Each structure stands twice: as structure tokens, then as C-alpha cells.
Structure 1
């Protein structure tokens, strides 16, 4: 379920958002990162992923997001749960207030989109 932009802005102001982030590592130990085009954190390098929609199960969100972000639809079983992190931003998609995103991350194994770059683990830690 997708909300109208003004309704989504109200949700962002009042509630935390839940997202799935994918840590994708190739055979050379490089981590897949993409440079964010939109707010929040515009211009920063992040792992692929996205938000879980209202009434969407984690299984459905995982399949939808791997298709959208990596170009291949994967089942939740293709990933390994890695942990929970929180991100605080000083802006959001509308450029107002701030948001908190709590991310459940998973390992996945394939990608296709050309906007990504592969970095070594040490480079990935310092990329920003």
C-alpha cells in the first residue's frame, strides 16, 4: 500500500519507518553500494534496500525490494538475517523535520543495476 505524498509526510513526521537493507558481497569480498539520489542522505553511499509498506509481510517486501534494487526477485530464505540498526537523518524525502529508520539487514547474493559500485570492506566502512 502506497500513501499519497502528504499522508506519507505526516507518517514520517510522527512514526519510525522500517526498511530492509541488503548487504551484498561478491566473490572478491567487495560490498555493493549505491549512491543515493533522493533525500534523506542524498549523495551518500548506501547498501541497496527500501522501506516495508503497511500490511506487507517481510517475505513480500524482501521479494519486491530485491527485484526493484537488484534486478532479481529473491525469496526471504535467500538472505541471512544480520541485525537491526537505526539511522537518524536531519532531513527526509520532503526536506522537512527528520526521520528515524530502523533497518533489518540481510545478506543476498546477486545484483544487476549499473548505478552501484563495489568497494572493499574497509572502503565501504569509510564511504559516506
Structure 2
């Protein structure tokens, strides 16, 4: 079981882009308060940031098959859905999650993708 469309290099590029976004906008353990002008400004800066635009643009530049594999890999790494790769891929193709979905996961994206790759490699070698 392996990736058929997206390369590991492209997955690692998404990891790098998400990491750059996370480094530019570290998460507060308390989150953001939507009533605070300061936090509202932080949220606006995050959404408009070059790092976020880079992540979104890279994702949108992937083919539909690459995007589906990337989303399936996120789910696989997250581990909260059926671990069957064929099922995950089929669901990802049906749902057609967009760049916003991926961008919203940026804080955990590096972990999800690296864990997903590790799980796929472990299944391939088993």
C-alpha cells in the first residue's frame, strides 16, 4: 500500500509550508477571543498571511488525485477514522475537501502527514 499520485516530496513540501505558517503564527494555549480587538487583528493577519497563501496555493496546484491522497493521508495520520487506506481514499475523493479545509488543519498538519506516511510505510513493509 503506497501513494499512487502524490509523491512523498510533495507531502513533505506541504509539511514545510504548514510548519512555516505555524512558526509565523504560534498557537496560544488559550486560543483567540473573538471579542478581543487584538485577537481579531491576529486572526485577520493569519488569514491574510503570505505563509497561509503559500500553503493554499500549493494545495490548489495539486491535481485532484493528489489532493485526495493528501486528505486521506491527513485522516490516516490523525487516526480517528477507518484505517483502511482504500476506504479513506474513496471518502477523500467523494468529499473533495478544498484548500480551506487543509489550511484550517495547519497547526496539526505536519504531525498528521508524517504519522500518515509512517503508517503507510509500516503497512507496506508488513
Tell me, yes or no, whether TM beats 0.5. no
TM-score by length of 2: 0.25
TM-score by length of 1: 0.25
Higher helix share: 2
Higher strand share: 1
